[in-house]
């Protein structure tokens, strides 16, 4: 017995578009309940972050207005999930009455893919995506067409899953433990020196604006490995263990170390810029790692939206508030480290997420930030 399958024109257009947007433009399907004959796609890094393909018949202008109203309500839900203030949406319609005035609003663009002409002859969609024609899956017999669409999308999904596993899979943690060990060893050396009266590493290596201005710039980094007492050390090392292991897993060892040291320096620089006082501790660098978590979580917010809203952001806000409320906490170093971590994370980039322009902007902003802080310390009177 010979099995045959047919795909109607509307479904064929939808599947061709879905194939292109998923396999070429890196969109991901969104599950939207209560809709029929619609496909919703999402790519938070694309110009149109949401694409909705609708094969339902739009009879008149009033029905189009109601259609746009439905889109706005669904987009509101996506905004909450992805912590987004604004989402540009492309509404692709396939079956529209001749008297319909096809227009969207400032956040929703409406495009018609004429069911009779087909995708290749629909000018609007091809002007938005010039490579659509050459990447469009050819029309074939029903069953062959379905198999090819399914296979290509499955291959793309498998590739995405491998990239996801590469980023989030458990890895060996080396640098975080090494940094914790270095901080503990330096603390012990400091205690021995103080008790024996032979040397004082705190006076020699802690942060002070006057000494930095005199040329002892090494204090910008050495101060990040000194701690005032055992409580100060244990609090910072616990925070470094919790946050550092996550960042090292997500970012990779080399990028992790660069962010840590850069954040330590920017924290020290802002501390010096804000006043003349002694300062020491790893908290500026740790806040830089929090900045990395914030930047990473934003790019992977489809997976980490709950952690971003309930853990990462509240943790940063709570620690900054404590810095303002509790005396003798160098909140300038915290803020400087946080900004430094964000900027350096942007400069280094997030694998599979950051564009070349993002990294260039991160490098430029990092240089400007460092230059501004240096100007405040050495040239501002």
262 contacts 288 by C-beta, under 8 angstroms: yes
What's the whole-number mean pLDDT along residues 229-234? Answer: 95
Choose the catalytic residue: 122, 334, 345, 354: 334
Rounded to whole angstroms, the Cα distance separating 136 from 161 reads 24
Rounded to whole angstroms, the Cα distance separating 272 from 330 reads 10
Choose the catalytic residue: 271, 283, 345, 354: 283
Length of the chain: 381
Give 104-122 pLDDT, tens digit per residue: 777 899 999 888 788 888 8
Residue 271 confidence (pLDDT): 95
Pair of tokens at residue 121: 């002859």
Is 183 inside a domain boundary? yes
Q: Which long-range contacts (CB under 8 A, 24 or more apart) does 160-165 make?
A: 160/28, 163/351, 163/352, 164/303
184 and 245 share a domain? yes
Residue-number span of the structural domain to which 194 is assigned: 170-378
Residue 195 confidence (pLDDT): 92
Question: Which of 145, 167, 189 is at the close of a domain?
Answer: 167
Is 4 inside a domain boundary? no
| 75 pLDDT above the threshold of 90 | no
Give how many domains the chain has, as a whole number. Answer: 2
Please give the full DSSP string across 178-201, using - where no structure is assigned: HHHHHHHHHHHHHHHHHHHTS--H
248 and 284 share a domain? yes
Distances (CA, A) of 64 to 7, 13, 24, 145, 187: 26, 20, 29, 31, 69
Handedness of CA 7, 9, 14, 20 (dihedral sign): positive
Active site residue 263: no
292 contacts 259 by C-beta, under 8 angstroms: yes
Rounded to whole angstroms, the Cα distance separating 214 from 229 reads 27
End-to-end CA distance of the chain: 91
Q: Cα 360 to the chain's mean position, in Å?
A: 16
Active site residue 271: no
| 1 pLDDT above the threshold of 60 | no
Q: What does pTM read for this prediction?
A: 0.75
| 253 pLDDT above the threshold of 90 | yes
142 and 181 share a domain? no
Residue of 367 and 61 predicted with greater confidence: 367
139 and 85 share a domain? yes
Give 345-377 pLDDT, tens digit per residue: 999 998 777 788 999 999 999 999 999 999 999
Pair of tokens at residue 147: 């198999």
What's the whole-number mean pLDDT along residues 242-261? Answer: 94
Question: Which of 127, 142, 167 is at the close of a domain?
Answer: 167
Give 165-175 pLDDT, tens digit per residue: 777 677 789 99
Handedness of CA 210, 211, 216, 217 (dihedral sign): negative
Residue 2 confidence (pLDDT): 47
Residue 348 confidence (pLDDT): 95
Give 89-108 pLDDT, tens digit per residue: 999 999 888 888 887 777 89
């Amino acid at each position: 017995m010979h099995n045959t399958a047919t795909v109607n024109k509307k479904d064929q257009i939808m599947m061709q578009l879905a194939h292109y947007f998923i396999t070429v433009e890196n969109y991901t399907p969104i599950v939207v309940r209560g809709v029929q004959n619609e496909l919703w796609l999402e790519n938070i890094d694309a110009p149109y972050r949401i694409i909705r393909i609708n094969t339902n018949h739009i009879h008149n202008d009033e029905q189009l207005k109601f259609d746009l109203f439905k889109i706005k309500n669904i987009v509101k839900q996506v905004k909450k999930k992805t912590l987004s203030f604004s989402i540009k949406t492309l509404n692709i319609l396939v079956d529209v009455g001749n008297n319909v005035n096809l227009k969207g609003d400032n956040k929703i663009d409406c495009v018609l893919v004429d069911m009779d002409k087909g995708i290749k002859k629909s000018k609007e969609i091809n002007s938005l995506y010039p490579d659509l024609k050459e990447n469009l899956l050819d029309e074939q017999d029903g069953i062959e067409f379905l198999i090819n669409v399914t296979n290509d999308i499955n291959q793309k999904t498998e590739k995405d899953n491998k990239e996801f596993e590469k980023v989030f899979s458990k890895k060996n943690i080396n640098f975080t433990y090494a940094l914790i060990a270095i901080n503990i060893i330096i603390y012990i050396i400091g205690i021995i020196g103080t008790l024996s009266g032979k040397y004082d590493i705190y006076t020699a290596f802690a942060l002070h604006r006057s000494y930095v201005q005199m040329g002892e710039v090494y204090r910008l980094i050495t101060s990040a490995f000194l701690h005032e007492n055992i409580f100060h050390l244990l609090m910072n090392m616990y925070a470094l263990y919790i946050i550092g292991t996550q960042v090292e897993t997500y970012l990779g060892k080399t990028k992790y170390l660069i962010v840590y040291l850069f954040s330590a320096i920017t924290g020290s620089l802002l501390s010096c810029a804000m006043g003349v006082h002694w300062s020491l501790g790893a908290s500026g660098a740790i806040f830089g790692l929090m900045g990395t978590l914030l930047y990473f979580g934003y790019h992977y917010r489809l997976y980490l939206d709950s952690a971003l809203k309930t853990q990462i952001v509240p943790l940063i806000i709570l620690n900054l508030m404590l810095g303002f409320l509790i005396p003798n906490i160098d909140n300038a170093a915290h803020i400087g480290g946080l900004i430094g971590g964000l900027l350096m994370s942007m400069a280094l980039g997030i694998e599979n997420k950051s564009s070349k322009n993002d990294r260039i902007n991160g490098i430029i902003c990092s240089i400007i930030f460092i230059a501004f802080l240096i100007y405040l310390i050495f040239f501002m009177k």
